[in-house]
Chains A and B, each alone.
Chain A
Amino acid sequence: MRNEIDIKEPYKRVILPFKSGIKYVYMPKLSATIKDPITGEVSKTAHPFLVDTGASISIINARFESFINRLEPVDRIKIQYGSGKKNLNIYDIIIIIKGIEIQAKVAYDELLSISLLGHYSMFENLTYQLFDASKMNARLIKVRR
């Protein structure tokens, strides 16, 4: 039986600017866009998201600013980043990855350098997040019950 959701993405290269010289690491990033669940309108651009199993909630950044500004926030949340805290608006959106739509609550942080996919209402609705460093790809799977 085929999985209900099975998204496979190759790792993307990220630069690590060490003082001793530039190094590279390959990380699980994928392209996604967002949709307004009320109007059905879809953002006209796709942007990278880091598959971040350390993130409690998904966060989108300023690349989606013009689209997110048309939506009404449904809540607020205090997010802990490293050593600092921030209050962020929460939005109900649909995240589209390779044509697959996943409804999620996301925070919006205009200063975040890359958007993140996190656990709340995203990974918790999937069955597995698989990271294969030898094949350098990531898979998001929801098993059909």
Chain B
Amino acid sequence: MKNLEFKKLYKYVLRMLKDFKEINPNAYISLPDILEILNYKASFNEALEIAKYMETRGWLNSLFVIGDVRLQITSAGLVEIDEYEEGFDEEYKNYLSDLTKEKGQLKLTAYTEPKDSKLHVVEFLNGISSKIKETEGHEIDLNKDIEIIKIELSKSQPNIEALEEKFRYLMNLQYVASDVQLAKKYIFQDEL
């Protein structure tokens, strides 16, 4: 199946959020999960940009949590869907039907509590740690820094400056620099 075109992306994301609102009006849905289900390949950075744009238009509320960006449609988003061209709903349903044939049942998780998003970041950090162990061995201090990052992340209000300091040392390892950069993006979500 082809990847979803960008020009249709906003509409499909919004339409999917509408379906979820009808099931659970208070829940937030992970945008990276939606993008994966819709067959739209995007980096985490791109997911942040998409969420910010759609929130700017007033179509949704977004929760930027560590490791994830979660969305909930607003009444302005529902009005926007009402103004889509005739035939859009059928096109969307056909697209989902094709996806179901390819992937089986489409499953998305509804979130009401942000803390579980950190698990994703911890798993990602474990991957970085494994790469460092393979190259440098088990005793290197940088792996201990990753453990400290994980402990700091487990707090309800992590000390961002302390995390940044630990990441600064990790960035010196060229072979994990891009992974470390992505981990920072998950946590800090700074604008470029």
Contact = CB atoms under 8 A, between A and B. Distances in A.
A81 interface: no
B89 interface: no
Contact of B56 (A13, A22, A24, A98): A98
Given A12-B191, A13-B190, A46 B160 contact: no
Interface in B41-82: 49, 52-53, 55-59, 74, 76
Nearest to B79: A99
A13 B52 contact: no
Interface in A83-104: 96-100
A73 interface: no
Contacts, number: 45
Contact of B58 (A13, A44, A100): A100
Interface in A42-100: 42, 44-46, 48, 96-100
| Secondary structure type dominating chain B contacts | helix
Classify chain B: how many residues form its interface, as a range. 10 to 19
B57 A13 contact: no
A117 interface: no
A64 B25 CA distance: 35
Contacts of A15: 190
Given A13-B190, A99-B74, A99-B76, A42 B57 contact: yes
B188 interface: yes
Interface in A13-32: 13, 15, 22, 24, 29, 31-32
B164 interface: yes
Contact of A24 (B49, B53, B161): B161
B190 to A, nearest CB: 6
B191 A24 contact: no
A108 B55 CA distance: 24
B161 A33 contact: no
A24 B160 CA distance: 10
B53 A46 contact: yes
A45 B53 contact: yes
Given A48-B191, A98-B58, A31 B52 contact: yes
A49 B170 CA distance: 31
Contact of A98 (B49, B55, B164, B190): B55
Given A13-B160, A24-B161, A24-B164, A97 B56 contact: yes
Contacts of B52: 31, 46
Contacts of A33: 53, 56-57
Nearest to A26: B160
Interface string B79-92: 00000000000000
Interface in B100-141: none
